[in-house]
């Protein structure tokens, strides 16, 4: 409660680091050419979220190529959890935004260069920052390289939201904290629920490729190897 009250107080004051940093970052938009502002607006509103979706698909495509079905199922379950965590985090944010009721920065402060208009909802916590960091943290659990890329994109997303004049820096930091907390704290439960499902799908003949596509390093005879499954099916048919 005290933290939320502090955030609200920051938004109402014109002489604090949060507002000062808002003006510093948003001021870059005033000095930038028009095409830069349009590009940043598109990237911050749609582009980076699309990039995170593509990164998640890339991660899924890569983690399927494990040596065994068990390893692949666990990794795929972790990748699937990343977008699910983002969705849950945004749902958690709904009551937070309604409770804090922090206006957008351009409502309380003059001279803000607004790159995306029509934002009439509340500011804290940033949905975009929450979504981006939840995906980044979720991918980090599944694969360190993809996770670091995702976290980097999330940080850039947060910068863009302030640059665009639609969020305070603390809105972004709050989104990062919420997305990370949901992705990491619920990860063990998600793994326990999703891994058996992924393993079961991986054992099926028609949909197994969604979970496991073993590479050249796969161990012959390992659990779930397609050739082993087909051989067993032929033996049973005989």
Residues 177-234 pLDDT 10s = 999 999 999 999 999 999 999 999 999 988 999 999 876 444 444 444 444 444 444 4
Which of the two residues, 219 and 42, has the higher pLDDT score?
42
Assess if residue 85 is contained within a domain. yes
Which of the two residues, 12 and 105, has the higher pLDDT score?
105
pLDDT digits (tens, 9 = 90+) for 138-162: 999 999 999 999 999 999 999 999 9
Which of the two residues, 158 and 30, has the higher pLDDT score?
158
Assess if residue 83 is contained within a domain. yes
Assess if residue 112 is contained within a domain. no
Average pLDDT on 110-133 reads 90
Task: Write out the residue range of the structural domain in which residue 85 sits.
Answer: 17-101+122-210
Assess if residue 133 is contained within a domain. yes
Assess if residue 106 is contained within a domain. no
Assess if residue 225 is contained within a domain. no
Residue 94 in this model has a pLDDT that exceeds 90: yes
**If pLDDT is split at 50, 70 and 90, which confidence band does 167 have?**
very high
Assess if residue 4 is contained within a domain. no
Count of structural domains, the chain: 1
> What does the chain look like in DSSP terms, one character per residue?
-HHHHHHHHHHH-SSSHHHHHHHHHHHHHHHS-HHHHHHHHHIIIIIHHHHHHHHHHHHHHHHT--SSHHHHHHHHHHHHHHHHHHHHHHHHHHHHHHHH-PPPHHHH-TT---SS----S--SSPHHHHHHHHHHHHHHHH-HHHHHHHHHHHHHHHHHHHHTTSS-HHHHHHHHHHHHHHHHHTHHHHHHHHHHHHHHHHHSTTTGGGT----TTPPTT-TT-HHHHHHHHHHHH-
Assess if residue 229 is contained within a domain. no
């Amino acid at each position: 409660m005290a933290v939320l009250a502090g955030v609200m107080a920051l938004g109402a004051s014109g002489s604090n680091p949060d507002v000062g940093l808002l003006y510093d970052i948003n001021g870059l938009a005033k000095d930038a050419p028009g095409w830069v502002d349009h590009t940043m607006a598109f990237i911050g509103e749609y582009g980076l979220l699309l990039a995170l979706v593509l990164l998640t698909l890339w991660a899924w495509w890569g983690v399927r190529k494990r040596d065994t079905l068990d390893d692949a199922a666990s990794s795929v379950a972790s990748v699937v959890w990343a977008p699910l965590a983002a969705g849950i985090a945004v749902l958690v944010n709904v009551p937070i935004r309604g409770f804090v009721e922090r206006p957008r920065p351009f409502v309380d402060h003059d001279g803000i260069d607004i790159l995306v208009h029509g934002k009439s909802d509340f500011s804290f916590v940033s949905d975009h920052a929450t979504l981006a960091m939840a995906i980044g943290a979720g991918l980090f659990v599944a694969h360190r390289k993809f996770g670091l890329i995702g976290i980097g994109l999330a940080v850039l997303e947060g910068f863009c939201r302030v640059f665009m004049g639609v969020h305070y820096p603390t809105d972004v930091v709050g989104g990062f904290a919420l997305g990370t907390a949901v992705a990491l704290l619920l990860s063990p439960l998600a793994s326990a629920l999703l891994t058996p499902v992924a393993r079961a799908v991986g054992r099926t003949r028609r949909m197994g490729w969604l979970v496991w596509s073993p590479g050249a390093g796969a161990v012959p005879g390992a659990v779930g190897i397609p050739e082993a499954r087909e051989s067993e099916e032929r033996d049973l048919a005989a």
